[in-house]
Amino acid sequence: MKILVTGASGFIGQPLVRRLLVSGHAVRALVRRVPVAAPGDTRAGGAEYLQGDLSDVPSLARAVAGMDAIVHLACATGVADAALVQRINVDGTRALLEAAKTAGVRRFVFVSTISATRERMGPYGRTKLEGERLVAASGLEWVTVRPSLVYGSSDIGLFATLSAYLKKLPVVPVIGDGKIELDPVHVEDVNAVIEQCVTRADVIGKSYDLLGPERVTFNDFLALVSRSLGVQKPVVHLPGPLALLMASVLGMISKRPPVSVDNVLGMISPARVDREPLRRDFKLPWIRLEEGLRRNDDPRSSAGAAVAANLANAYAAAPPPRVPLSGTSLSPGSGMASPPSMSPSGVELGAVAMQERPTSPGSVPLPEMLRNSPRPLRKVRVGVVGLGKMGVAHTTVLSMIPDCEVVGLVDHHPGLAKSLQGMGHRAPYFKSVDALIDRAAPDAIFVCTPQNSHLAVSRLALEGGCAVFVEKPLAHTLEEGEKLAELAAEKRRPVGCGFTLAYLPVFAAGQHALATGALGAVRQARSSMYLSQVFGPRKGWMYEKSRSGGGVVANISSHLLFLLEWYLGTPVEVRANASRLYGEVEDELHGMMTLASGAEVGFDSSWSVPGYPLSAVVIEIEGENGKLLVSNDALELDLAQAAGGWPAGYSRLRPADLPQPARYDVNGEGYYLEDAAFLAWATGGVAPPTTVDSALRVQRVMDALYRSADQSGERVKVSS
């Protein structure tokens, strides 16, 4: 049969593709990034890979063309944005069904979730249940399976996350009493059932709860996994209602929080399951837990292992390709570059795709900041001013840093402090910054207020003898940014700024590669930062220029401006064009910046483009010795000669290949490392990269871009 698998790069999808190939099926894999075996070849290991997305209807039409059956795995899970979950899990499934009917596809196997049977459902469970109803009403030959907790050896998926927590955390948090019952099912058994659902006629029109052969409590499952990993950690139980509140608040500040509402409900809301239909219709040698935890993820047999090996060999068959600066050429004086072609995951898809050949992190130089987890040099007392999304994020992270005590909270809305206190934070609420300083005596204050109040709050903190961490950007105008920097110098207290991307290991490693001279002199560069956030008029301080200082650049892509300043230095001149699509601040800005050397750097930013539920950053740099691409997904270097500790040829490091020194993850490593590095500096340690001086340089570039855009793209000098 000709079978389309959506979500083919996921934990279940990867071994499913290999399994179907072993069985002799022709497989088309719908993925957001195509692995390339050789230039121009979209087949690897026997599968045809097609780039697409559930929100891209034309790509779905291409994907279903000529197919006999579809296995629909792709979904949005672990995402806090309920509207996005709805668009992917419901609207995307509806679009795929319509495309399938138009193309004459006969069979549709829908992989739902056991969360769709819970007494209480979060956004993921509700939308998957709605997807089940769409499938049942489609008129196609359909089968629905609802896997329970799926486990198996892999570096992705929920089980991999649990294993990572067991290895990394000193104490393992368990939501609820841990007595909720689970039916863990091995990924090989899941895929054995899915394969039969594709081919058998007697299962059409049926739904199955896909459960493993043993029912265990979560506590028992955790103990088994710990034993299989050879680790033993103490466990702390978190009350379900408190965990649900924490997940809700984390969902407000992070698009992909470490714990989602659905995760919590999975631990406190029982699933209403029926195991009899599965056992009656699928006579399999079910893998028991003890055995499954010992297995690796080879799909079925030595034949399956051979297919996996062929897939790997396909990647290695061609000579290492050069890392391209794809899309429009960026030569000095060439004008505005067109935006790069981006996949929804934020990885650039150039004219020549890059080879998947990871580099060992032990074989290349890494920055000192990735070698050890930073921490204060002594006990430190911290106050937080502004309890919106960023205030909640920083308060949560600060509470996890050793020797850090949050001693006070300030906001003009007392209810926000009560919400934080309801999450277990014991810090008292104060009506003013003065009261916080007088009564709580903090050593440092985190300023998480709108940009137009940064200077005023920071002045009070500095005059009170406190170190200051201020959220990005430094201020809402260059004039106030200059005043804040002067005040920091006068008071001789540490002042840092919240450019979090500097602390994500992949971006820190990229800067280190440049600093060690791997590329040589820079010839040209381009960069982009995209986010799907604004598609109509919006309310709030962020969209008021008098309070925020601007739109997408001030609020989002000032992060990218910091990276460019850190990587390449401050430009001497800029030119830019901006578009105000929905309000008084810019929704898009496209710029070109000229470095002192004459090299030009393209800058492209928008928060009004579809397909980017999470912010996606790409920086491409061409130097005398080669090319660098760094994104949220990977660091990729292609060097003519070995330099800076990097080998000649193509090297690639994924975030998972790099050290992860953070002790706590909120939207990645960045927040923890950022806050801990600042507190280390505030207590006598080394200054981090995100000081007030570097933040002021970013403010100057941002100011120049805005002035150029106001002058219809005229060249504007950057203040010095």
Q: Given this model, what pLDDT does residue 426 score?
A: 81
Of 134, 125, 147, which is closest to residue 73 (Cα–Cα)?
147
Average pLDDT of the chain is 84
| Residue percentage of the chain with pLDDT more than 70 | 82
SS3 category, 367: coil
Max mean pLDDT among 49-58, 83-92, 496-505 falls in 496-505
Find residue 26's DSSP bridge partners.
2
Residue 255 has pLDDT above 80, yes or no: no
Q: Given this model, what pLDDT does residue 232 score?
A: 79
Q: Given this model, what pLDDT does residue 242 score?
A: 66
Task: Check if the beta carbon of residue 593 is closer than 8 Å to that of residue 574.
Answer: yes
Of 559, 568, 558, 562, which is closest to residue 513 (Cα–Cα)?
568
What total number of domains does the chain contain? 1
Q: Given this model, what pLDDT does residue 683 score?
A: 96
Bridge pairing between strands 573-579 and 588-594 = antiparallel
Rounded to whole angstroms, the Cα distance separating 286 from 109 reads 21
Q: Is residue 211 situated within a structural domain? A: yes
pLDDT in tens, 512-541: 999 999 999 999 999 999 999 999 999 999
Domain span including residue 267: 2-308
Rounded to whole angstroms, the Cα distance separating 189 from 287 reads 7
pLDDT in tens, 158-200: 566 667 667 666 667 788 888 888 899 999 999 999 999 999 9
Q: Is residue 560 situated within a structural domain? A: no
- Omega cis (within 30) before 473: yes
Q: Given this model, what pLDDT does residue 590 score?
A: 97
Q: Which residue has the higher pLDDT, 528 or 258?
A: 528
When pLDDT is cut at 50, 70 and 90, the band that residue 369 belongs to is confident
CA dihedral 495, 699, 504, 365 (to 10 degrees): -90
Residue 645 has pLDDT above 70, yes or no: yes
Q: Is residue 331 situated within a structural domain? A: no
Q: Is residue 144 situated within a structural domain? A: yes
Residue 274 has pLDDT above 90, yes or no: yes
Q: In what order do the strands lie in the sheet with 522-530?
A: 649-653, 635-639, 626-631, 616-623, 522-530, 600-606, 588-594, 573-579, 716-717
Which amino acid is it at 531?
A: L
SS3 category, 392: helix
Rg of the chain on CA atoms, in Å: 26
Q: Which residue has the higher pLDDT, 499 or 364?
A: 499
pLDDT in tens, 475-495: 999 999 999 999 999 999 999
Least confident stretch, 188-192, 317-321, 422-426, 627-631: 317-321
Q: Given this model, what pLDDT does residue 477 score?
A: 97
Q: Is residue 284 situated within a structural domain? A: yes
**Left (φ > 0), alpha (ψ -120 to 50) or beta: where does 453 sit?**
alpha
Q: Given this model, what pLDDT does residue 233 score?
A: 74
SS3 category, 193: helix
SS3 category, 434: helix
Is the whole model's pTM more than 0.75, yes or no? no
pLDDT in tens, 134-158: 999 999 999 999 999 898 875 555 5
Find residue 380's DSSP bridge partners.
404
Tokens describing residue 469: 């961490």
Of 83, 389, 124, which is closest to residue 249 (Cα–Cα)?
389
Residue 548 has pLDDT above 70, yes or no: yes
Task: Check if the beta carbon of residue 223 is closer than 8 Å to that of residue 229.
Answer: no
Q: Given this model, what pLDDT does residue 251 score?
A: 58
Least confident stretch, 133-147, 222-236, 442-456: 222-236
Task: Check if the beta carbon of residue 372 is closer than 8 Å to that of residue 661.
Answer: yes
- Burial label for 255, CB within 10 Å (0-12, 13-18, 19+), is middle
Q: Given this model, what pLDDT does residue 383 score?
A: 97
Kindly give, in sequence order, each residue whose CB lies less than 8 Å from that of residue 441, ignoring residues fewer than 6 positions away: 381, 407
When pLDDT is cut at 50, 70 and 90, the band that residue 598 belongs to is very high
Least confident stretch, 10-24, 358-372, 503-517, 622-636: 358-372
Rounded to whole angstroms, the Cα distance separating 45 from 24 reads 12
Q: Given this model, what pLDDT does residue 127 score?
A: 94
Q: Is residue 225 situated within a structural domain? A: yes
Neighbours of 571 (CB within 10 A): 26
Q: Given this model, what pLDDT does residue 417 score?
A: 83
Q: Which residue has the higher pLDDT, 232 or 319?
A: 232
Q: Given this model, what pLDDT does residue 5 score?
A: 97
Of 647, 31, 36, which is closest to residue 355 (Cα–Cα)?
36
Q: Which long-range contacts (CB under 8 A, 24 or more apart) does 23-31 make?
A: 23/195, 25/1, 25/198, 26/1, 26/2, 27/3, 28/2, 28/3, 28/4, 28/63, 28/67, 29/4, 29/5, 30/4, 30/5, 30/6, 30/59, 30/63, 30/74
Least confident stretch, 20-24, 61-65, 234-238, 615-619: 234-238
Task: Check if the beta carbon of residue 629 is closer than 8 Å to that of residue 354.
Answer: yes
Rounded to whole angstroms, the Cα distance separating 394 from 389 reads 9
CATH (domain of 240):
3.40.50.720
Which amino acid is it at 337?
A: A
- Mean pLDDT, residues 647-663 taken together: 85
When pLDDT is cut at 50, 70 and 90, the band that residue 63 belongs to is very high
- Mean pLDDT, residues 443-470 taken together: 97
Residue 316 has pLDDT above 70, yes or no: no
Q: Tell the residue number behind the tokens 């698998």, with chain if given.
A: 5
Least confident stretch, 224-233, 410-419, 651-660, 691-700: 224-233
Query: 586 vs 555, 556, 602, 692, CA distance in Å?
Result: 10, 11, 18, 25
